[in-house]
Amino acid sequence: MNSLHVVTCVIPMYRGGEVTASVVAALARCHLPPATELQILIVDDGSDDGSADRVLALGLSQVRILTQSVNSGRSAARNRGAREAMTDWLLFLDSDCEPVDAGFVLAHLRAVGSGSRLSMGAVIGANDGFWHDYQASAASRRERAAQSGGTALYGSSQNFMVSRDAFIAQGGFDEAYRGYGFEDRDLFLRLAAAGVESVATPDAAVIHRDQLALRTVCRKMAEAGGSSAVRFAAEHPEAYVKLGYARLDGRRSRALRFVEPLSTLSVRILVPLFESRLEAWWLPFSIKRRLVRGLTAASFVHGSIHNGGSSFLAVRKRPS
């Protein structure tokens, strides 16, 4: 008789309980190989809106919730879930990333069963609009990079499976990455340096249920250009250059510091102008994609000079 294999899915959650409940319900419908058990571990990272109750209302026996009294960030939440999971494999999902079909877990398990200890799943958009196409284009680019040996550089913590032993041996996510970005690539590069083989698994796909907006994406890129980029560049200088971020880092370039005020002004003018026009049928996708990539690049430049720029593109209240 085969021994029981246990997979624990760790999901960090901060508010958004209804979306998380949909993700959990989709996971519970996934098929499993014989003698395999799926546990779902939600780390409620300081939510104050009853999100945990919405998940518990599903009444699923394989679901457990760990509650953190204060918000400590996704890396710390994921690490706590990994420590609590006495399991063979860890499956990490973001709380707004829903498996596309019942074969999702099987696809990951097939990938790691072939000899790899790290399986990178795909992330696709939630609709057929611009952001769906944009994320699909990014996923295709990451898959091509993975096929040429760049899996560790282009994976995402939104959807991956890893051997728990390998994850724990590397200390999990580096919790010093408090801002947006780079904590996943840092982990994957450390795993690769330790000899952990990774593979891209496009069949293990999730739908990203977040409602993306150009303003939000640019603000996140500005945040990524701050302390997270500094740490990543110090820890992985060659990868920082290969990924292209070094070219956008104003700390390294006098020319970028000179043009940054103009590029930031352009972002502040163009983002509200084009926000709604990204769904316009008459504007070709190739142009919209270039526009978004240019605006997000300029946002990163801003963040690299102003250490993230917490007020960058913040919604300002009109005076009463």
pLDDT, tens only, 176-227: 998 889 999 999 999 999 999 998 898 999 998 887 899 999 999 999 999 9
pTM for this one?
A: 0.91
Question: All domains of the chain, ordered by start, with CATH?
Answer: 5-208 (3.90.550.10), 214-305 (no CATH)
Please return the burial class of 93, using the count of CB atoms within 10 Å of its CB with bins 0-12, 13-18 and 19+. buried
Does the pLDDT at position 33 exceed 90? yes
Per the prediction, the chain carries an average pLDDT of 90
Beta-carbon contacts of 143 under 8 Å, excluding residues fewer than 6 positions away, are: 122, 200, 202
> What is the rounded CA–CA span in Å between residue 158 and residue 285?
25
| Cα–Cα distance, 309 to 65 (Å, whole number) | 34
The SS3 of residue 199 is strand
For 232-261, what is each residue's pLDDT tens digit? 999 999 999 999 999 999 999 999 999 999
- Comparing CA positions, the residue from 108, 28, 100 lying closest to residue 62 is 28
Predicted confidence at residue 141, as pLDDT, reads: 73
Q: Report whether pLDDT(309) > 90.
A: no
**316 has pLDDT over 70:** no
**Nearest-angstrom CA–CA distance, 303 and 138:** 22
Q: Copy the structure tokens of residue 245.
A: 């971020």
- 136-182 pLDDT, tens per residue? 787 777 777 666 666 777 778 999 999 999 999 999 999 999 888 99
